[in-house]
Each structure stands twice: as C-alpha cells, then as structure tokens.
Amino acid sequence: MSKFTIAGLVSWFIGGLLFGFQALDSLISSGGGGKAWKNLTLIDVIDKSHFSWVNGMSEGIIHNAAQYIIAMPIYLLLFCVGILFLILGRLTTRF
C-alpha cells in the first residue's frame, strides 16, 4: 500500500468523521428536526484575511475554481482530495 493510498484513506476517514459530527450536531441543536445543518468551510476554519489573495486575482477559470474550493464544505473537500490521492496511489504502483 503506497503513501498516497494511505493519505487518501485517512482523508476519507476524516471527511466521514466531520460529516458525522456535523449531522449529529444538526440533530442535537434543532431538537431532532435536522433544520440547523451548517456546512463547515475553509473560511469558517481559517481567517478570511488569509484568502484575500483570491479577490486580487483577475476574473477567470482559476479565480472561480479557487472561490469554489474555499466555499466548499470541508468534508466534500476531504472526499475529493482522498479520491485524488487514491488515484495517484494507484498510478504510482503501476510504474
């Protein structure tokens, strides 16, 4: 098992834990109704001033992709990074 595969599995595990804790929090905070779901994003975890470089970029595909990744829920970001690592791990074992 390569290091990329291990990193991908760890990323999936952490993403699953975050998703589970967010689901549990939404059930507890709203009294079982599930209406208080709040996605945890990179902007919520890291200060907004660290992402000011995105606003300084010119409009285009890279700017839109950076804004999308920053506003993406962290558990989805971890799942996507995990898939990328698993693919890289599979490619490195073939060569």
**Residue type (1 letter), 87:** I
| pLDDT tens-digit readout, 74-88 | 999 999 999 999 999
Distance CA 81, CA 3 (A): 14
Q: For the beta carbon of residue 78, count every other beta carbon within 10 angstroms.
A: 22
- Per-residue model confidence (pLDDT) at position 55: 74
Say if residues 85 and 7 touch (Cβ distance below 8 Å).
yes
Q: Which tokens is 24 given?
A: 């549990």
| pLDDT tens-digit readout, 23-34 | 888 878 755 555
Quote the pTM value. Answer: 0.79
Helices (H), 1-95: 3-29, 42-45, 52-55, 61-71, 74-94
What is residue 31's DSSP assignment? T
Residue 53 has pLDDT above 60, yes or no: yes
Q: Which tokens is 53 given?
A: 């470089």
Distance CA 80, CA 15 (A): 10
